[in-house]
Structure 1
Amino acid sequence: MPPTKAPRGLNDRRRQMMAAAVADIIRGGLEDGAPSKFAFEAPIRQAIRSRLCLRGKLWSEADLIAGDVVARGLALVGAVRPTWAEGQPDYVQLGAGAQIERTRCVRCHKPLPGEHTKFCGTLCAKAYHMRLARLHNFNDERAYDTAARLS
């Protein structure tokens, strides 16, 4: 949600132009497989804030401006923050939010042994999470580079 009083530093027209560019980054990320409209929120905000600081803005002022621009961009793509439960990886919208019942490993698809609920063992769990971390890092760097060119 944008602040009630827009922080000074960039006029409203420039903020709207930057917000439109942020919305384009978000849409592009969704087309490339980003998990949600919020996937690039942090790297974009950080890139804009960083660029403003390099241009002489105080960190606190730059952060308010970057937050305002990113909030406007999210609003342009119709982003609505989920509840905490909806934000959990195993949430499914079936009425009250039923858990996914799995019988096979998420990574290797072997049958799940005993009390395991997602991975067949620690090897698959670690490999899966390392792959996700690499993917998120790559997407964050792309979003940062694009957002840095905006400001």
Structure 2
Amino acid sequence: MAKKGRGSNFYVHGLRSGWTEFRYGNGDKQQKRPPKRLFNHNKRKQIVSQLIEVLDDFRQTRFEHEATCRHGLRSALCLEGHSWAAADNEAALLVSEALKSIGAIRPRWEEGQRYYADGTSNCNWCHGPIEAGSGRFCSRECARSMLESMAGRDKRDRDVAWRAAWMLINRTNKPKVTCEACGSMFHPHYASAGRFCSSACYDAVNTIKPRTCTVCGDSFKPKYSNGVCCSRVCAAVAAQRARKARKERLAVETRVCDECGTDFTPQSQNSRYCGDQCSARARSRAYRNRKKALSDSTIVCLPVPDPRPLTPAIFDGMLEAA
């Protein structure tokens, strides 16, 4: 027998009419499946290797031939009979894999703004010449003018120039300190970072010797003692190589499952079980053991200490209660 009233399946929320759900939906968004790839793994690997040769031959930036490669792949796939959407998705994925392989890091939004590209050779407000290492503004007045002009903008529009202006005003409010290298007086950026007035003074005192980059082979002077790469691009390439080497090492490694004792190939360095079932059984057994240990009557449970201070009145009351 069908239920009525609040138990009826016709009404989503009890006695409501259901108009809101009918008009706007119930809020449960269906997860769309990712589109099916048009090539298998070997074919994709072959295409990516060819794209790497084209993308790596650049003059200005690694993204110089991105649009051309994506357009060419999309056109070829459309001529083979694939839909435009499927061809464009496959071309975008292949080009992104190739860019990732050559260590291309896409610029952030703020790096495309004109204040970011202006650099630090001229003031970002009055465009007058400034000394190297002085920041982006020649004076406190120019920095304040920049802040006032950006006061009504959204946080997204407050790019590197806004932060540089705010840091200059904040720095000038701090007392001057003496540079440990040249002895000149300067305003520190932070209260705990007032040792050197510029990067040149820091490099003069820095005792770290130049070393060779593990990726490109160029000589550079690292900022920290554990630095092995000369730039972020080389660091990204080194991290990708390390992940690939770790996967290759785990692919030939064989471990014994702690639960069932069968041999399996680990997916990560901390893998202890061959599958989800063994992992769930181990967690369930550990939970039961902890619960059993807490219910053991032989374990003495100490009382929770009273956070109140022990006063003479409380001590007399404890003696009377005893």
TM-score normalised per structure 2: 0.26
Deviation at residue 22 of structure 1 after TM alignment: 1.1
Alignment of 1:95-134 (within 5 A): 98-101=119-122
Corresponding residue for 2:90? 65
C-alpha deviation, 1:90, in angstroms: 6.6
The one-letter code of the counterpart of 2:47 is M
SS of equivalent residue, structure 1 residue 28: coil
Q: Does the Cα contact within 8 Å between 1:23 and 1:77 map onto a contact in 2? A: yes
Partner of 2:53: 24
> Which amino acid in structure 1 is aligned with residue 101 of structure 2?
L
One-letter amino acid matched to 2:89:
L
Matches within 5 A, 1:46-85: 46-85=71-110
In structure 1, stretches of 5+ residues that fail to align are 104-151
Quick check: 1:15 aligned with 2:15? no
Partner of 2:252: none
Aligned residues of 2:35 and 2:86 also touching (Cα < 8 A)? no
Q: Deviation at 1:83?
A: 1.0
Instruction: Give the partner amino acid of 1:12.
Output: H
| Matched-pair contact (CA < 8 Å) for 1:20–1:76 | no
Taking the aligned partners of 1:51 and 1:21, their CA distance within structure 2 comes to 15
Amino acid in structure 1 at the alignment position of 2:44 = R
In 2, Cα distance between the equivalents of 1:72 and 1:53? 20
Report if the CA contact (8 A) 1:20-1:73 is conserved: yes
Q: Which structure shows the bigger proportion of residues in helix conformation?
A: 1
Which whole-Å CA distance do the structure 2 matches of 1:87 and 1:22 have between them? 26
Deviations 1:109-151 (A, max 9, x none): xxxxxxxxxxxxxxxxxxxxxxxxxxxxxxxxxxxxxxxxxxx
**Structure 1: how far apart are the matches of 2:86 and 2:92?**
10
Contact 2:55 2:62 (C-alpha < 8 Å) held by counterparts: yes
Q: Check if 1:39 corresponds to 2:64.
A: yes
- Cα RMSD of the aligned pairs, angstroms, is 2.6
Q: CA deviation at 1:37?
A: 1.0
Query: Structure 1's 55 and 87: CA in aligned 2 closer, same or farther, altered over 3 A?
Result: same
Q: State the alpha-carbon separation in 2 of the partners of residues 72 and 91 from structure 1.
A: 28
Q: Number of residue pairs matched? A: 92
Question: Computing the radius of gyration over CA atoms, which structure comes out larger, 1 or 2?
Answer: 2
Runs of 4+ that moved beyond 6 A: none
Residue-by-residue CA offset, 1:63-108 (whole Å, 9 max, x unaligned): 111011001100101111111222346745xxxx8455389xxxxx
State the shift of 1:8 in Å. Answer: 2.4
Higher relative contact order (CA 8 A, sep 6+): 1
**Runs (5+) with no aligned partner, structure 2:** 1-32, 129-322
Structure 1 residues 98, 6: CA separation in 2 closer, same or farther (over 3 Å shift)? same
